[in-house]
């Protein structure tokens, strides 16, 4: 038994209450609990002058797997201190680990925890590389983690899609394949990257619009997106399809992005790093912000959520599965070098260093577009705060980003430093909205937990995992969010005033949708035909997952029963495995579940 009481803090818990509440927060054995008045506790914290929130959850951050490790190798400059070696840690608990835009996994964990984050999700796990991704995530200390497996460019999926014809005769088989892949790779969801486009690049296509045919398989990205979104919905996977759309970074891609939302035909989906997908073609440089159009579409489609992929100025490296677009952008690499790969009839990867510059018209406008999107979408429950680490900038820039969103004066100061045409003409200049602490809490904890189906994370209600951060109130929000006074993970204090104090091993989130195992015959035939990993070897079992993840806890998330309507589901009793306590309410009123 261990207990903790936090008194006098301003509690911001958007899942359970509107606004801030001055209340006590209790923890018993790693879970939030209502402690009896006067009950003696092991630790008591006086949080007067502090804000108490659930631990941060980054639901789209490239923290582990092949392309991240390639980025570390490619960015040697980022892993030393000028001409000097990277300094060793001054904290005896930490092992040496270096890098700013793609730090080693150890440093990744340390830096996230110091900022008050307690979970992070790798969004692009290639099936053939799944074990590697889990190994790296397992070596990120403290944070709970999970990954979305990449589908929609694997040749077997495209082949089945082609064979099923326009009326999707074999949809049940494809759905089983999606479920099997999630099961085999121990994924938390499915991401599609440039739907069909990575494969098309292998057949030497250089672009693939939403309704353009893949030259070999004769299927369109529209069908890829719709089929995957439908499969996940029918499987009851809580996180809907995670979409990195066609035409990333291309001027005028807003048309594709809006059509992609249309292609979903009302199915739920999460559109990721939308800043890179919200470009118009207006103005003398034929490159303009389409943030307003995208925000209107998101506002009109409550079943759609987004994360931003905010660009931050300075050196970074982009690591993506989108070989087609990364190859196209490789000429802009700074420094001038890049890595790409065609991967195992599965996917691809491209790693391109970038330096976003304030005086670049394009980069300045990208920065503006991201902020405009944050400020134009009405419902914060549809928005997740990300930089698409490291693609828009490293995750360590989150406190700066939070200040930009919360502080109009500071935002204007930064805006004035940008390329003059952007600074003078952007709509952002006239936007007066300043996000509240509650809205930040939604975008950094409550909404990601809800979008992932994590009912016992992202909030401070009784029964939820006691992941929390206590921030000293400070008008300078960047300083405030850089180093919380306390961070707790499952009730264990892991950081104090920006310094690591304990390093428990994080757990692995995944889902286990059901499938007809007849699909394994199809997979066996495919593996024999193409010499890919034997089907029996492809499946990561629970014991192996545990070994990959350094003995961290396995955290299966229950799938929804697809035969039950969302309204019935809200009224239904809790599924087994979810700890006691109130289920989070859904203040957005727009449950995706």
Partner 1 sequence: MTQLPTATRAAAPWTCPFCPLLCDHLGVQADGAALALVGGRCARASDGLAQASAGGDATPRVDGRPATLDAAVAAAAQRLGAARQPLFGGLATDVAGARALYRLACATGAITDHAQGDALMHGLRVQQDRGGYTTTFAEVRARADLVVFLGGPPLGLAPLLYERLGFGDTGAVPQRRIVVIGAGPDDADALRQLAALPGCGVETVALQGDLFASTALLSALVEQRHVVDAPAAYVALAAALRAARYAVLVGAPARLPAHGALVVETAVRIVNSLNLGTRAAALWIGGGHGAATANQTVTWLSGLPLRSRAGPRGLEHGPVRFGSARLLDEDAVDALLWVASIDDTTPPPQTTLPLVLLGHPMLAAHADRPGSVFVPVAVPGIDGPGHLFRSDGVVLMPLFAARPAAQPTVAEVVARITEALGS
Q: Give the residue, chosen from 9, 14, 56, 104, that forms a contact with partner 1 under the rule CB under 8 A.
A: 104
Q: Does 316 bind partner 1 (CB under 8 A)?
A: no
Q: Does 512 bind partner 1 (CB under 8 A)?
A: no
Q: Does 343 bind partner 1 (CB under 8 A)?
A: yes
Q: Does 165 bind partner 1 (CB under 8 A)?
A: no
If you search the block for the tokens 């991201």, which residue do you land on? 370
Q: Give the residue, chosen from 286, 528, 542, 570, that forms a contact with partner 1 under the rule CB under 8 A.
A: 528
CA atoms of 304 and 559, how far apart (whole Å): 19
- Decide if 497 contacts 483 (C-beta within 8 A): yes
Q: Does 329 bind partner 1 (CB under 8 A)?
A: no
Nearest in space to 452 (alpha carbons), one of 88, 121, 3: 121
**Contact partners, residue 487, CB within 8 Å, separation at least 6:** 55, 113, 114, 116, 118, 468, 469, 470, 493, 494, 495, 496
DSSP string, 295-319: HHHHHH-TTEEEE-----SEEEEEE
Q: Does 258 bind partner 1 (CB under 8 A)?
A: no
Q: Which stretch binds partner 1 (CB under 8 A): 9-17, 69-77, 258-266, 459-467?
A: 69-77
Neighbours of 94 (CB within 10 A): 17
Nearer to partner 1, 440 or 540 (CB): 540
Q: Give the residue, chosen from 9, 14, 64, 195, that forms a contact with partner 1 under the rule CB under 8 A.
A: 64
Q: Does 132 bind partner 1 (CB under 8 A)?
A: yes
Q: Does 99 bind partner 1 (CB under 8 A)?
A: yes
Nearest in space to 100 (alpha carbons), one of 123, 73, 79, 76: 79
Q: Which stretch binds partner 1 (CB under 8 A): 73-81, 185-193, 257-265, 274-282?
A: 73-81
We find the least distance from the C-beta atom of residue 198 to partner 1, in angstroms, to be 12
Q: Give the residue, chosen from 7, 23, 327, 408, that forms a contact with partner 1 under the rule CB under 8 A.
A: 327
Q: Which two tokens stand for residue 452?
A: 């992932």
CA atoms of 43 and 50, how far apart (whole Å): 17
We find the least distance from the C-beta atom of residue 348 to partner 1, in angstroms, to be 9
CA atoms of 270 and 315, how far apart (whole Å): 28
Q: Does 193 bind partner 1 (CB under 8 A)?
A: no
Nearest in space to 365 (alpha carbons), one of 314, 454, 428, 459: 428
Nearer to partner 1, 128 or 418 (CB): 128
As a three-state string, the secondary structure of 386-445 is CCCCCCCCCHHHHHHHHHHHHCHHHHHHHHCCCCHHHHHHCHHHHCCCCCCHHHHHHHHH
Nearer to partner 1, 141 or 448 (CB): 141
CA atoms of 475 and 589, how far apart (whole Å): 31
Binding-residue pattern over the window 112 to 131 for partner 1, x denoting contact by CB under 8 A: --------------x-xx-x
* CA distances, 552 to each of 66, 323, 571 (Å): 21, 33, 33
We find the least distance from the C-beta atom of residue 86 to partner 1, in angstroms, to be 4
Q: Give the residue, chosen from 1, 37, 81, 551, that forms a contact with partner 1 under the rule CB under 8 A.
A: 81
Q: Does 155 bind partner 1 (CB under 8 A)?
A: yes
Q: Give the residue, chosen from 9, 55, 56, 103, that forms a contact with partner 1 under the rule CB under 8 A.
A: 103
As a three-state string, the secondary structure of 121-175 is EEEEECHHHHHHHHHHHHCCCCCEEEEEEECCCCHHHHHHHHHHCCCCCCHHHHH
Nearer to partner 1, 107 or 466 (CB): 107
We find the least distance from the C-beta atom of residue 215 to partner 1, in angstroms, to be 11
Residues that bind partner 1 (CB under 8 A): 64, 66, 68-70, 72-74, 76, 79-81, 84-88, 95-99, 102-107, 126, 128-129, 131-132, 135-136, 139, 155, 201-204, 327, 337-346, 351, 528-534, 536-537, 540, 544, 547-548, 550
């Amino acid at each position: 038994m261990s207990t903790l009481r936090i008194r006098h803090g301003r509690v911001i818990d958007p899942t359970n209450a509107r606004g801030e509440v001055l209340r006590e927060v209790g923890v018993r054995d790693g879970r939030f609990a209502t402690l009896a008045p006067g009950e003696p506790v092991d630790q008591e914290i006086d949080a007067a002058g502090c804000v108490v929130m659930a631990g941060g959850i980054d639901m789209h951050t490239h923290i582990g797997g092949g392309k991240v490790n390639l980025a570390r190798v490619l960015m040697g400059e980022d892993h030393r201190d000028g001409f000097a070696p990277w300094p060793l840690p001054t904290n005896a608990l930490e092992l040496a680990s270096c890098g700013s835009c793609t730090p080693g996994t150890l440093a990744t964990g340390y830096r996230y925890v110091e900022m008050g984050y307690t979970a992070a999700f790798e969004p692009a796990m290639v099936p053939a590389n799944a074990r590697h991704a889990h190994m790296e995530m397992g070596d990120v200390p403290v944070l709970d983690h999970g990954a979305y497996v990449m589908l929609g460019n694997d040749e077997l999926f495209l082949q089945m899609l082609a064979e099923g014809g326009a009326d999707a005769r074999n949809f049940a088989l494809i759905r089983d394949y999606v479920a099997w892949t999630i099961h085999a790779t121990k994924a938390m969801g499915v991401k599609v990257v440039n739907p069909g486009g990575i494969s098309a690049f292998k057949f030497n296509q250089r672009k693939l619009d939403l309704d353009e045919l893949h030259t070999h398989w004769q299927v369109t990205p529209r069908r890829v997106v719709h089929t995957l979104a439908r499969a996940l919905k029918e499987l009851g996977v809580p996180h809907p399809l995670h979409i990195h759309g066609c035409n990333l970074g291309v001027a005028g891609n807003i048309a594709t992005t809006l059509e992609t939302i249309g292609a979903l035909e009302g199915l739920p989906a999460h559109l990721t790093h939308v800043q890179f997908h919200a470009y118009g073609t207006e103005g003398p440089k034929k490159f303009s912000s389409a943030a307003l159009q995208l925000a209107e579409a998101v506002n009109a489609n409550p079943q759609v959520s987004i994360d931003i992929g905010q660009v931050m100025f300075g050196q970074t490296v982009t690591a993506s599965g989108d070989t087609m677009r990364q190859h196209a952008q490789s000429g802009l690499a700074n420094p001038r070098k890049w890595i790409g790969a065609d991967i195992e009839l599965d996917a691809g990867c491209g790693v391109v260093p970038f330096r976003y510059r304030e005086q670049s018209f394009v980069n300045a406008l990208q920065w503006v577009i991201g902020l405009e999107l944050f400020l134009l979408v009405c419902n914060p429950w549809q928005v997740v705060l990300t930089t698409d680490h490291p693609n828009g900038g490293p995750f360590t820039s989150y406190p700066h980003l939070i200040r930009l969103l919360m502080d109009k004066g500071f935002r204007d100061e930064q805006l004035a430093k940008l390329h003059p045409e952007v600074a003078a003409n952007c709509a952002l200049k006239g936007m007066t909205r300043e996000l509240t602490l509650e809205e930040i809490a939604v975008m950094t904890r409550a909404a990601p937990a809800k979008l992932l189906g994590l009912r016992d994370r992202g909030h401070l209600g009784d029964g939820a995992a006691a992941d929390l951060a206590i921030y000293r109130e400070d008008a300078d929000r960047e300083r405030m969010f850089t180093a919380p006074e306390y961070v707790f993970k499952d009730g264990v204090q892991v950081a104090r005033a920006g310094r690591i104090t304990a390093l428990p091993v994080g757990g692995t989130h995944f889902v286990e949708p059901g499938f007809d195992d007849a699909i394994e015959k199809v997979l066996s035939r495919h593996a024999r035909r193409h010499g890919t990993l034997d089907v029996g070897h492809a499946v990561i079992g629970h014991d192996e997952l545990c070994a990959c993840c350094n003995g961290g806890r396995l955290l299966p998330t229950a799938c929804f029963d697809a035969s039950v309507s969302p309204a019935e589901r809200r009224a239904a009793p809790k599924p087994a495995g979810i700890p006691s306590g109130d289920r989070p309410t859904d203040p957005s009123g727009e449950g995706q579940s």
